């Protein structure tokens, strides 16, 4: 893969404090989901501000697509269009009297024509599930809604990279899961995602790669299971091991499972236990998983399909699918962790429906097919077609 962002020997000190970054060198590959992980004060937020050009290194260089950042007004405007940043506290980012004005600020500042600004604002608000919020004052919204407005404001500028500082802070558990699923959807559409977090559970489930930081320095970077499986490394960074990794290591130490790739989900650890107990995953009668692209399937056809094809449960992935389900009164059993939950239902002999759209359609199919191949099973992942709706 091609590196899209790089920090090379970067140092930075705030005027009234100690050194925040010390000779940081790290490259981010295009199309990846990367989590900067470390305790408070590790330098995560400072590095994110470097990538967006808000802070300038005292020494060292930041590169975007192989070119060093320039800090004149025109160059900074361009890099902030390509590398969008969402702050931890959305109140630091929202300032306009209405949601529409806030989301329109970026594209208007780029001097887009009015019709293009209107089109991008409409798209961005629909994407984050806030269509109809245009005239609302941002300060009247909930914390989760404010964060979605901030994301919409960045998306309206069509960035190639989306950076989020502590994306789930101050969100309830369900909203946090939905937020991370939205980021998955953006990644499936081709965007590079970088987050900072001290939540090891979130980083372990979500990221492709971990950049572990402490005291302004880079301790280690690598695949998720490699970083979070190293107890000494985590101890040095003052971070705990994710719960599923702890359970895996305990079961492995007791001989209750075989030494395989560490699991990242309840589904995967359940499979390891069953393989050890029975020699294989036992599924006398597998259910089927149907995938519905809500952008090309009429709501009445979805309802008809659910009612006539033995569907025991339904889930929605992505904002547009959830909005359609709510608008059309389609009952949802799952609104996050949808793919794994539908696989678990299939293993129990029950059929399910995944409502989604865009790149998440192929993402769901790939995840199901990969699981089936690894486990030697044949779980049908079928996309709804016109013939199936009749």
The predicted-structure confidence for 295-304, as pLDDT tens digits, reads as follows 899 999 999 8
Per-residue pLDDT, averaged over 138-152, amounts to 92
Q: Is 262 exposed, middle or buried (0-12, 13-18, 19+ CB in 10 A)?
A: buried
Q: Is 114 exposed, middle or buried (0-12, 13-18, 19+ CB in 10 A)?
A: exposed
Per-residue pLDDT, averaged over 160-177, amounts to 90
User: What pLDDT, on a 0 to 100 scale, did the predictor assign at position 385?
Assistant: 65
Residues 135 and 99: beta-carbon distance below 8 Å: yes
Residues 309 and 351: beta-carbon distance below 8 Å: yes
Residue range 78-122, pLDDT digits in tens:
999 999 999 999 999 999 999 999 999 999 988 899 999 999 999
Cα angle 247-351-248, degrees, rounded to a multiple of 5: 5
Cite the DSSP H helix spans in the chain: 44-51, 73-82, 99-109, 114-127, 143-155, 173-188, 200-206, 224-228, 231-236, 243-253, 266-278, 299-308, 319-327, 338-347, 359-375, 386-389
| pLDDT tier, 336 (very low <50, low <70, confident <90, very high otherwise) | confident
Query: Is the pLDDT assigned to residue 283 strictly greater than 80?
Result: no
Residues 294 and 355: beta-carbon distance below 8 Å: yes
| pLDDT tier, 178 (very low <50, low <70, confident <90, very high otherwise) | confident
Residues of the chain with CATH 3.40.1010: 289-389
User: What pLDDT, on a 0 to 100 scale, did the predictor assign at position 170?
Assistant: 84
The verdict on domain 3-236 having CATH code 3.40.50.300 is yes
DSSP labels, 255-296: TSS-S-SPP-SHHHHHHHHHHHHHSS---SS---EEEEETTT
Q: Which of 156, 48, 50 is nearest to 108 (CA)?
A: 156
Residues of the chain with CATH 3.40.50.300: 3-236
| The CATH number of domain 289-389, selected from 3.40.1010, 2.120.10, 3.30.250, 3.40.50 | 3.40.1010
Per-residue pLDDT, averaged over 352-359, amounts to 92
User: What pLDDT, on a 0 to 100 scale, did the predictor assign at position 376?
Assistant: 80
Residue range 26-76, pLDDT digits in tens:
999 999 999 999 998 899 999 999 999 999 999 999 999 999 999 999 999
User: What pLDDT, on a 0 to 100 scale, did the predictor assign at position 329?
Assistant: 92
| pLDDT tier, 388 (very low <50, low <70, confident <90, very high otherwise) | very low
Give the pair of three-digit tokens for residue 389: 């709706």
**Mean pLDDT score across all residues of the chain:** 90
User: What pLDDT, on a 0 to 100 scale, did the predictor assign at position 384?
Assistant: 80
| pLDDT tier, 389 (very low <50, low <70, confident <90, very high otherwise) | very low
Distance from the first to the final alpha carbon of the chain:
43
- Whole-model pTM: value is 0.88
Give the pair of three-digit tokens for residue 197: 């977090």
């Amino acid at each position: 893969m091609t590196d899209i962002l790089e920090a090379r020997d970067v140092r930075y000190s705030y005027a009234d404090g100690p050194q925040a970054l010390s000779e940081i060198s790290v490259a981010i590959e295009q199309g990846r989901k990367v989590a900067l992980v470390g305790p408070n004060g590790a330098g995560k937020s400072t590095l994110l501000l470097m990538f967006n050009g808000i802070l300038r290194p005292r020494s060292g260089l930041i590169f975007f697509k192989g070119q060093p950042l320039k800090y004149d007004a025109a160059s900074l405007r361009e890099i902030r269009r390509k590398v969008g940043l969402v702050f931890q506290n959305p109140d630091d980012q929202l300032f306009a009297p209405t949601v529409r004005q806030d989301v329109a600020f970026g594209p208007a500042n780029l001097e887009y024509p009015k019709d293009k600004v209107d089109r991008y604002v409409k798209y961005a608000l629909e994407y984050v599930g806030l269509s109809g919020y245009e005239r609302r004052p941002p300060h009247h919204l909930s914390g989760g809604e404010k964060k979605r407005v901030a994301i919409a404001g960045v998306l309206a500028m069509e960035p190639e990279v989306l950076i989020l500082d502590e994306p789930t802070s101050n969100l309830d558990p369900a909203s946090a899961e939905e937020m991370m699923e939205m980021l998955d959807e953006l990644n499936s559409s081709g965007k590079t995602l970088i987050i900072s977090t001290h939540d090891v559970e979130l980083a372990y489930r979500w990221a492709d790669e971990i950049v572990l930081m402490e005291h302004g320095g880079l301790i280690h970077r690598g695949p998720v299971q490699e970083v979070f499986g190293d107890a000494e490394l985590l101890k040095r960074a003052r971070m705990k091991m994710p719960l599923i990794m702890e359970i895996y290591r305990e079961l492995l130490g007791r001989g209750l499972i075989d030494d395989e790739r560490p699991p990242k989900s309840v589904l995967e650890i359940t499979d390891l236990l069953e393989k050890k107990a029975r020699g294989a995953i036992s599924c006398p009668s597998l259910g089927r998983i149907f995938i519905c692209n809500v952008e090309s399937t009429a709501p009445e056809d979805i309802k008809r399909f659910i009612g006539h094809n033995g569907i025991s449960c339904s889930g929605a992935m992505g904002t547009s699918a959830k909005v359609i389900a709510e608008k059309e009164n389609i009952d949802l059993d799952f609104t996050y962790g949808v793919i794994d939950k539908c696989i678990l239902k299939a293993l129990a002999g029950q059929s399910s429906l995944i409502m989604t759209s865009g790149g998440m359609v192929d993402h769901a199919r790939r995840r199901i097919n990969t699981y089936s191949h690894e486990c030697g099973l044949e779980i049908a992942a079928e996309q709804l077609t016109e013939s199936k709706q009749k």
